[in-house]
Amino acid sequence: MTGLTRRSFLAAAVSSTVLAGCADTAADTAPVVSGSRPTQPTPTPRRTARPRLPAGVHANKLGLIPVLMHHRLVASNPGSYDLTPAYFRAELDRLYRENYYPVRAIDLVSRNLDSVPPGKTPVVLTFDDGTPGQVAFDAGGQVAPDCALGILRAFHARHPDFPAVATFYVNKNPFGLTGAAAAQALVRLNDLGCEVGNHTWSHPNLHTLTRAQAEAEIGSLAALVSRAIPMAPPRTLALPFGAHPRDPGVLARGGAGGTAYRNLGVLLVGAEPSHSPFHPGFDPMAIPRIRCSSRDGELEFTYWLDRLARRTALKFIAGGNSIGVANGIFQSPVWELGACTGFDCVEERWRR
């Protein structure tokens, strides 16, 4: 990379908010005990073979996970936060070639990564602002092929092992829609397996607001989404402009009555991959993202994917089982971190 240094194009990471997110946990279902003896002997359960890692690949559930930040999809003249359809298709091609596997932001913060096949690395595709180029429908109610979701779904049709899932952070008029049309778009997104996240009602700089104003912004958008898809209220929030409120406690929960909300994760604007949710350095309330655009934002995406391709020990690699991690607690074989700084620290070494 001539004439450029990493420092010249990577955005400075937004200051982390030190908060703890509380994950919802479902109660275990009580076993039903039969009062009569079965007439047939109970068959011995057959052992199901665990998925195996590809030859030469080592699991690393403490490694880095790219969380990609997208904004507008435009046909031409992209700004510094925009991307063209051609760029987005090329991005998907590279992710697929390099064994990335899309998951949603809520999957990251809730450690719901069991679906990631052995040898693959989770990647989170996020879209901010809910613009029309991200999600659109044709006259027949089908996903328009030239919007971001349509491109993602077409890629999935060609590559069924690359899920068409993403997280869309919306404001008061999702995808330029209002009323019943907006609600129906949110329902369709949820039905298609995507996540609808909170990007506040009017996209303000939260740092300039009082706590009551910030709660109203977050809570009003949460209420809009919850009315459309009550089974999937927003549980992650992307900060407008990457700006933290003066009272950081407002991010986790707030509001009252119909505008009450609870966030399990908060996403920043820049500027590097996220720690694994199993890594002790992971902060669900301050998740960094990598900017993707057809202009200078491409440098961030290319820089980090190039680095992760050169040093695969930095990446989260799924193992098909709980290698090294069980219920969030590090188990034998133990992990250790050598003397290091920054993201070099996630190069884990296993001792058998």
The verdict on residue 18 lying in a domain is: no
The verdict on residue 5 lying in a domain is: no
The verdict on residue 83 lying in a domain is: yes
State how many domains the chain has. 1
- For residue range 284-333, what is the model confidence (pLDDT) as tens digits? 999 999 999 987 657 899 999 999 999 999 999 999 654 444 333 333 23
The verdict on residue 42 lying in a domain is: no
Q: Which two tokens stand for residue 261?
A: 């909300």
Q: Which two tokens stand for residue 149?
A: 């979701």
The verdict on residue 139 lying in a domain is: yes
The verdict on residue 214 lying in a domain is: yes
The verdict on residue 276 lying in a domain is: yes
Q: Give the number of other Cβ atoms within 10 Å of residue 10's Cβ.
A: 17
The verdict on residue 234 lying in a domain is: yes
Q: Which residues pair with 84 in a beta bridge?
A: none
Model confidence band, residue 51 (pLDDT cutoffs 50, 70, 90)? low
Is residue 239 within 8 Å of 269, Cβ to Cβ?
yes
* Alpha carbons 208 and 204: distance in angstroms, whole number: 8
CATH number (domain holding residue 290): 3.20.20.370
Length of the chain: 352
The domain in which residue 319 lies consists of: 57-323
pLDDT at 339 over 90: no
- For residue range 234-283, what is the model confidence (pLDDT) as tens digits? 999 999 999 999 999 999 999 999 999 999 999 999 889 999 999 999 99
pLDDT of the residue at 26: 33
Specify which of 49-53, 103-107, 294-298 reaches the highest per-range mean pLDDT.
Answer: 103-107
Higher pLDDT, 60 or 331: 60
